[in-house]
Amino acid sequence: MESGNGKGQEAVCGEEALQLLNCVTETPFNQEKCQHLLHSLRQCVLAKKVKKFSLAGQDQQETKPNSKKA
């Protein structure tokens, strides 16, 4: 999904994923609300054919060795 404000691209289904993550952190926990958000995220993933999510910077970390010895 692209943003129309010139700030670049937003993550595909990112808003749905963020809403679900924030839902599970709420107290008291509202399981019904979170299940609805999970369903919304699933529908978005299917519609946009998302194969995998990653966090910002995760790809670079996976390709670099964890320790460097001098």
Structure confidence by residue, pLDDT tens digits, 26-35 = 999 999 999 9
Q: What is the mean pLDDT of the chain?
A: 81
Q: What residue numbers bound the domain in which 24 lies?
A: 11-50
Domain assignment of residue 62, yes or no: no
pLDDT for 58 beyond 90: no
pLDDT for 55 beyond 80: yes
Domain assignment of residue 23, yes or no: yes
Q: How many domains does the chain have?
A: 1
Question: What is the pLDDT at residue 2?
Answer: 39
pTM of the model: 0.67
Domain assignment of residue 67, yes or no: no
Q: By C-alpha distance, which of 15, 55, 56 is closest to 37?
A: 15
Question: What is the pLDDT at residue 60?
Answer: 57
Domain assignment of residue 34, yes or no: yes
